[in-house]
A and B are shown apart, each in its own frame.
Chain A
Amino acid sequence: MDSSEHMQLIYIILAAAVATFLTRIGGYVMITQMKRIPPRMEAALNSVPAAVLSTLVAPAFVYGGFDVAAAMLVAFAVGLRVSSLWMLAVGWLVVMTIRYLTV
């Protein structure tokens, strides 16, 4: 990474830090000012995390290869019941087992 790219990363992190702080103080400011978010905008904002995160999951499942897809499937089954740390542990075990067996 050259230095201009690196500066860009620093600016991204700073902007993200400000954005994060705004979410942490935003509710307090709103409740003291008593303003409501328009309902359609709220519905859109509510969907952003699931929408963005799905784009990071689905292509990895389809194009990531057999070992990754298998690990994700097993982790998904486990994830409906247990915490994310267990999902990671089980998924990692599956991927490493497949890689070890198919070397």
Chain B
Amino acid sequence: MTKDDFWQGVRGGFPVMVSASPFGALFGALAIDNGFSVFDAVFMSATLYAGASQMVGIELFGHKVQPWLIVLSIFAVNFRHILYSASIARHIRHFSGVQKFFTFFLLVDPQYAETEKRAERGEPVSFAWYLGFAMIIYIPWQITTLLGAIFGQMIGEPRAIGLDVLLSIYFMGLVLGFRKRDNWLPVVAASSLASIAAMHFVGSPWHVSIGAIAGIALAACLPLPKQHEEPVTLEHEV
């Protein structure tokens, strides 16, 4: 039963692993480009296990942005997980303390979505199933990071094969993914304009802090949206 559950999880997670793998390799290659060693890249994939925020981290590190802002940005990009962990709490009450620790450590977007779906279908959310689903994503995430990083080390000039443009486009995709949020357009406009101006007048890496603070301050000052039930939405995959 437990073994069946585990393999059922592995089969369920397989398509997620396939679609996440290019991002793992891309992360590895770009991490090297931003001054990481192969070890650093895999270390980050193993301890954070959160694709989008890892990309943000390497880019900010490459720009020599202040460490506190790097950590805060990663925290903010991952903030949505708070909604997930609140929402799956009712399905994992029967897990032991150690099992809960691993459950939360491995709680990525597709893992959350599948856990909810499984509970909704009335199938048991067992730890064996959860772990099977997680491992078929987590382990290849490390392997693709490693392969990407090794590949990244072999490339002399990332511009020559067009790698340099990928992070900007990737981040643009993430920005677009947040477009359902309250005050999205004013925040994006304020941060974009402030960062462009700061890049010109102050220079890198200050454009990141200045631009970010402009958008966040605006969001804190704008009238609050009407109170609505907190919607648990999936904004991004890996």
Q: Show the binding face of A for B, using Cβ within 8 Å.
A: 1, 6, 8-17, 19-28, 30-32, 39-41, 43-64, 67-68, 71-72, 75-76, 79-80, 83-85, 87-88, 91-92, 95-96, 99
Given A53-B77, A54-B188, 7 new contacts (CB under 8 A): A13-B48, A17-B47, A48-B73, A54-B192, A72-B172, A83-B237, A84-B237
Most buried by A among B76, B86, B107: B76
Summed over the interface, the residue pairs from A and B with CB atoms below 8 Å come to a total of 262
B183 is an interface residue with CB less than 8 A from chain A: yes
Chain A residues near B74 (CB, 8 Å)? 16, 19-20
B174 is an interface residue with CB less than 8 A from chain A: yes
Within 8 A of A (CB), among B64-114: 67, 70-89, 100, 104-105, 107
What distance in Å separates the Cβ of B167 from its nearest Cβ neighbour in chain A?
7
B89 in contact with A26 (CB, 8 Å): no
**How many angstroms between the C-alpha atoms of A56 and B212 in the bound complex?**
10
B154 is an interface residue with CB less than 8 A from chain A: no
Query: Beyond A32-B89, A56-B167, A68-B165, is A48–B40 a contact (Cβ under 8 Å)?
Result: no
- Which A residue's beta carbon lies closest to that of B36? A9
Size class of the B contact interface (CB-based, 8 Å): 35 or more
Chain B residues near A43 (CB, 8 Å)? 182-183, 219-220, 222, 224-225
**How many angstroms between the C-alpha atoms of A36 and B61 in the bound complex?**
33
What distance in Å separates the Cβ of A81 from its nearest Cβ neighbour in chain B?
10
- Which A residue's beta carbon lies closest to that of B217? A44
Query: Beyond A13-B44, A59-B196, A84-B170, is A47–B187 a contact (Cβ under 8 Å)?
Result: yes
Chain A residues near B162 (CB, 8 Å)? 92, 95-96, 99
B76 in contact with A27 (CB, 8 Å): no
Residue contacts A-B, CB under 8 angstroms, 5 given: A10-B40, A16-B48, A20-B48, A21-B104, A68-B164
Chain B residues near A53 (CB, 8 Å)? 56, 77, 171, 174-175, 178
A27 in contact with B85 (CB, 8 Å): yes
Chain A residues near B115 (CB, 8 Å)? none
Chain B residues near A55 (CB, 8 Å)? 191-192, 194-195, 207-208, 210-212
**How many angstroms between the C-alpha atoms of A58 and B76 in the bound complex?**
19
A72 in contact with B105 (CB, 8 Å): no
A50 in contact with B67 (CB, 8 Å): no
B166 is an interface residue with CB less than 8 A from chain A: yes
B192 in contact with A56 (CB, 8 Å): no
Chain A residues near B214 (CB, 8 Å)? 51
**How many angstroms between the C-alpha atoms of A17 and B227 in the bound complex?**
32
A44 in contact with B216 (CB, 8 Å): yes
**How many angstroms between the C-alpha atoms of A58 and B172 in the bound complex?**
9
**How many angstroms between the C-alpha atoms of A20 and B207 in the bound complex?**
24
Q: Which residue in B37, B104, B183 is a CB contact (below 8 Å) of A47?
A: B183
Sorted nearest first, the 10 A-B pairs with minimum C-beta distance are: A27-B86, A51-B215, A47-B219, A55-B211, A48-B76, A58-B192, A27-B85, A55-B195, A17-B47, A84-B173
